[in-house]
Amino acid sequence: MSETWPITDEGSVVIRQYSPVDFKSLNKVFYNWALENNYKYNESFTEKAKSHGKEFEIVWRFEKKVTEFVMYEIHVAIWAYGMNPIKIDNKELMQGNLEIVFNAYIILDWQNRSEFSKLRKFMRFLYINYIKKGEFLGHWEKCWTETYSLHADIKAFLNMMHIER
């Protein structure tokens, strides 16, 4: 089994606000960020109609295979509730409560090459924690930087939408 190092504390990097949102443009921000930073991604989308407005749950999972041993993963969960359509400058938007949570991880030995014996697991432990620890801490910092660049891009987009109102 691979070793996972958390980059962010679970649920600690969050954007919460009540504002209008253009979900198509928000989707483009995620897509463009993934292309610029060489991440592959998966997206899942759920929509429910409620009496107080629509609820959306959108989950993005970004993966970047940096080396044959190191992979970055960034998970973004978006919960939108009480979303009702509004029209601003002839644009159809949804307005309501929005919560976006970012979680990031480094996966070491993501191909599970050291799962064959206890000796290989022990050698992997030595390799990760003593021989190459400095290099892996550099990867930790790079993944942290990329996670917060995505956070900043999304926050800037949402604040721009909030100001246009």
Q: Rounded to an integer, what distance in angstroms lies between the CA atom of residue 115 and that of residue 117?
A: 6
The predicted-structure confidence for 93-116, as pLDDT tens digits, reads as follows 999 999 999 999 999 988 887 777
Query: Rounded to 5 degrees, what angle do the CA atoms 30, 68, 60 make?
Result: 20
Asked if residue 165 has pLDDT above 50, the reply is no
pLDDT band at 11 (very low <50, low <70, confident <90, very high): confident
Mean per-residue pLDDT of the chain: 90
Question: So what's the pLDDT on residue 33?
Answer: 96
Question: Which domain does 89 fall in, by range?
Answer: 3-164
pLDDT at 36: 96
- Give the Cα separation of 88 and 117 in Å (integer): 62
d(CA 67, CA 40): 14
CA distance 32 to 41: 11
Number of separate domains in the chain: 1
CA distance 107 to 5: 6
Is the CB of residue 114 less than 8 Å from the CB of residue 124?
yes
Mind spelling out the 3-state secondary structure of 105-154? EEEECCCCCCCCCHHHHHHHHHHHHHHCHHHHHHHHHHHHHHHHHHHHHH
Q: Which of the pair, 100 or 123, is modelled with greater confidence?
A: 100
pLDDT score for 162: 56
pLDDT above 70 (res 32): yes
Q: What is the pLDDT of residue 115?
A: 73
In whole angstroms, what is the distance from residue 104 CA to residue 7 CA?
Answer: 5
Identify the residue with better confidence: 155 or 1: 155
The arithmetic mean of pLDDT across residues 62-88, rounded, is 94
